[in-house]
Chains A and B, each alone.
Chain A
Amino acid sequence: MQRLASAIVTLWLLATIVFLIVNVLPGDVGRKILGPFAPKEDVAAFNHRLGTDRTVIAQYLTSIRRVFTLDFGDSYQSGQKVTDIILPALFRSGKLALLAFVLTIPISIAAGIFAARRKDKFADRVVVNVGLASSSIPEFVTAAVLLSVFCVNWKLGEVFANPPAGTSVIGQFRYLLTPAMAMVIAYFGYIARMTRAGVIGGLQSDYARTATMKGLSKGTVMRSHILRNALAPTITVISVQVGYLFGGIIGVEKVFNYAGLGSTMLTAVGAKDIPVLQGAVLLVGIIYMMSTLLADLLIAYLNPRVRLEKTR
């Protein structure tokens, strides 16, 4: 219940911030859509039709009502229903994020464990430094490099990530692989280093030593004792990344012309398309909240201390 109330407050805050930001942006909506040389009467009529000529307070109340009725109205730009724009975009972003996760998580967790078990050796240094370097490069730079090298020059991947309608699941994989790789490179280092740190801590812990002295195999100690504790911070990181993957991969989506939620938001900002922007930002906010909740549940499942603390 407390969490629900907190979620409602968060949504209200998000809606308010989006409204404020959009209204701080320079430019008149009608003028922006109709162009600089449109007759002022046309601009005025257009603004009246959209309701953007009303007072800021009236517009704010409308926008808050939209949030809580989940009816964001129609796009200023295309006239389509906002939900018809953002839900397909969410689905597309979801596909890309899922692929990126499916590739990133096993690779980076395995690399983190590999490095931790070889602490301070050459292999460990390689993982740490490669991870550090890859996570230091912004995704859109990685994306641009991959696009240019693999897609444009070598023609090994698709330049445009939107698969044509009717493309099979396997076919879609080909379209999404290169942008997903850009995200894998960006997140690999972070997750691998978090895993490495957790596993090193676990390997040096009393409980691991006790388990080993009990005669348990290395694999069992790692799976049943060390990873359960070591992965908690990693899961927290991953849960935050989930929200980010849905809304924060604007650069990657833009570079690969992928019509996901990120590029939808970017387009909406450019066109001052408030309903679309508001709907998309709130959707991302909801995803953030849900992924955080999921992370809490997972951590509680993995770590009995957390469970017990909550019970008390």
Chain B
Amino acid sequence: MDQFAQGNISRRSFVKRGAVLGLSTTFIGAFLAACGSDSKKSSGSTAASTGGTTAPGATTAPGATTAPADTTAATAPAAGAIKQGGTMRLASQKPGSPLDPVAMDNLGTYTVVTQSFEYLCGKGDNATLAPALAESWSPNADGSEWTFVLRQGVKWHDGSAFTSADVVATMDRLAGSNLKAYLVEGATTAADDFTVTMKLNTPDGQFPYQVSLYNPQTLITPVSFVLGTTLDKVPTGTGPFKLDKYDVATGATFVANVDWWGGKPFLDKVEFIFSDDIATQISGLQGDAADALVQFSVVGGDALLADPNVIVEGTRGAAHRQIWMNTREGNFADVRVRQAVALGIDRQALIDTVLRGKGDIGNDHPIAPVYEFFDAAQPQRERDIEKAKALLKEAGKEGLSITMHVPKLQEIPQLAELIQTQLKDIGMNIELNVESTDTFYDEWCKTYDPICDGGQEFGIVDYGNRGVPDVYLVKAYATGEWNSAHYVSKPFNAAVSEYQASLDLAGRKTAISKVQKIANEDVPYVIPYFYNTLYAHSKKVGGIVASGLGHFEMGKAGFLA
């Protein structure tokens, strides 16, 4: 799960385990909420992202689908406000897979492993990429080759030097798995100890996103790394913390890497306390048994949102809920019915109610405002009940009764109930079929593969955060693999291709503007909002950088002076 459990704990795990525990979790959450007092929240910085990749298959790993968000947020203490020393305790979901930097597949594992291992490209402000192990990168004229200049003076935790040989070896290993759509073995070559060139299978103007934290399994491992090796068996890395102790049942302890290229970390130690129960994690933060909580969602997180002693940070991103309507046959085959649904929804009310305001408004396309090529000039679709009624009447669907299928995942059931209420105003009668995530995902996807819609024409599905929107555009809209709406549009596909072929921001902006317009008009999916990924910490700490993708960068974190 989504994590949060669900979106992310892997949100699914969270939801499932919460369900298993049942009353207990509910009770705790309610009880703690009752014990809390006033509300207070804080800001979070934002980041957006750009980009587009060519091959959908090579984007994010499976686990990342469960929760992730998309932008970096950092607690922002004043310069010099952090003092040296101390152990910061992080309440985090339990790693759901071995600490294998290549095969890891869930947020709990990402959080732990990325304390030691690092990417070529890190996360910058406003969703741009920032230098990490690579100091700079540039494409050739057509984007078919990318050259990365590596940082000098970086050491592995055993004291040996990081060089281009490590990058070449890493890329060759990934060429057979995660990056196989982009690279073949031998396509990465070293010009010298600190310059590598990657020759891509097909040109890609945004390839660096594939070797950044947006593609979590592309951590740089040493040339001697053997596939299947886990961090706890062979502790190494170039990152700010070295693994000291690890017990998947209880937690992990990292000690500062004083030779880190980013400078000696403020903290002496980082201690992870694992728990798959978000209510327990919240209790830990409120009870001073933890200094920060890596990720949580609004649902189940009320106690934190209402706690004046805790700072809640939101990471904006592109994670969203998709209300699908079958465009090929049935009640929604007529675009006027789909537009009526879109017009019947009060998006801001949904955000305020189910997200407690922690989200960006959606406009029925998957391009989130955090993406730098987002076209903000496009008119926002507003609620218009009369127009919606008129469209339904024109389509001969007045008083339409229909079943909406939704998973019992985070706020989705509440979202469905609100939509049910709102659409009553345009004369639609919606019956809700809320199912467990197991039934919703496993059975539907298994039975109806490759279209994961369970053969239903109307429902809600969740999409995690991505650094670039290609997965949404290609898998959900274009190729049909997750195209629950059975949407087919040549102009849309052409606009997506144009976007993916663009080597510069201006080209991407032009193409994405078309994508937004077509998706908004055709409305195969209503996308009411993009939700923030939340994390929290005590008022004593600062400097944490959260990606919303499970990464919790602690290199510059510490206790406030």
Does A162 interact with chain B (Cβ within 8 Å)? yes
Does A264 interact with chain B (Cβ within 8 Å)? yes
Question: How far apart are the CA atoms of A53 and B545 in the complex, in Å?
Answer: 41
Q: How many residues of A contact B (CB 8 A)?
A: 51
The interface of chain B, by Cβ under 8 A from chain A, is 1, 10, 12-13, 16-17, 20-21, 23-25, 27-28, 31-32, 35, 57, 62-66, 94-98, 105-106, 230, 245, 247-251, 253, 271, 273-277, 280-281, 283-284, 286-290, 436-439, 441-443, 445-446, 449-450, 452, 482
Question: How far apart are the CA atoms of A151 and B288 in the complex, in Å?
Answer: 9
Question: How far apart are the CA atoms of A100 and B232 in the complex, in Å?
Answer: 34
Contact A31 B445 (CB under 8 A): yes
Contact B248 A270 (CB under 8 A): no
- Chain B residues positioned under 8 Å from A34 (CB to CB): 62-63, 105
Q: What residue in chain A is nearest B65 (Cβ atoms)?
A: A37
Contact A269 B20 (CB under 8 A): yes
User: Nearest Cβ in chain B — how far from A283, in angstroms?
Assistant: 15
Q: What residue in chain B is nearest A31 (Cβ atoms)?
A: B442
Question: How far apart are the CA atoms of A158 and B273 in the complex, in Å?
Answer: 13
Contact A33 B482 (CB under 8 A): no
Question: Which one of A25, A144, A162, A257 contacts B31 once the chains associate, using CB atoms below 8 Å?
Answer: A144
Contact B96 A26 (CB under 8 A): no
- Chain B residues positioned under 8 Å from A35 (CB to CB): 1, 10, 12, 62-66, 105-106
- Chain A residues positioned under 8 Å from B288 (CB to CB): 155, 159
Contact A85 B12 (CB under 8 A): no
> Quick one: which of A145-203 are within 8 Å of B by CB?
145, 147-148, 151-153, 155, 158-160, 162, 164-165
Q: Total number of A-B contacts with CB less than 8 angstroms?
A: 159
Q: Is the interface of A mostly helix, strand, loop or mixed?
A: helix
- Chain A residues positioned under 8 Å from B35 (CB to CB): 148, 152-153
Contact A26 B438 (CB under 8 A): yes
Does A32 interact with chain B (Cβ within 8 Å)? yes
Query: Given the interface contacts A28-B446, A254-B277, does A259 sit within 8 Å of B13 by beta carbon?
Result: no
Contact A37 B62 (CB under 8 A): yes
Question: How far apart are the CA atoms of A25 and B32 in the complex, in Å?
Answer: 31
Select the residue from B23, B436, B442, B449 with max chain A CB neighbours within 10 A: B442
Contact B287 A165 (CB under 8 A): no
Contact B250 A259 (CB under 8 A): yes
> Quick one: which of A21-73 are within 8 Å of B by CB?
25-28, 31-40, 42
Contact A151 B248 (CB under 8 A): no
Cβ contacts A to B, 23 pairs, < 8 Å: A31-B442, A35-B1, A35-B10, A37-B482, A42-B62, A78-B98, A152-B32, A152-B287, A159-B283, A159-B287, A159-B288, A159-B289, A160-B275, A160-B280, A160-B290, A165-B245, A254-B21, A257-B273, A257-B274, A257-B284, A264-B249, A266-B17, A271-B96
- Chain A residues positioned under 8 Å from B32 (CB to CB): 148, 152
User: Nearest Cβ in chain B — how far from A47, in angstroms?
Assistant: 12
11 new A-B contacts at CB < 8 Å, known A34-B105, A35-B105, A79-B230: A33-B96, A33-B97, A33-B105, A35-B62, A35-B66, A42-B62, A140-B27, A144-B24, A155-B287, A266-B21, A270-B276
The interface of chain A, by Cβ under 8 A from chain B, is 25-28, 31-40, 42, 77-80, 85, 88-89, 140-141, 144-145, 147-148, 151-153, 155, 158-160, 162, 164-165, 250-251, 254-257, 259, 264, 266-267, 269-271
Select the residue from B248, B250, B438 with max chain A CB neighbours within 10 A: B250
User: Nearest Cβ in chain A — how far from B451, in angstroms?
Assistant: 12
8 closest Cβ pairs, A-B complex = A38-B62, A159-B287, A159-B289, A259-B249, A36-B441, A37-B65, A152-B287, A35-B62
User: Nearest Cβ in chain A — how far from B123, in angstroms?
Assistant: 22
Query: Given the interface contacts A26-B443, A147-B283, does A89 sit within 8 Å of B13 by beta carbon?
Result: no
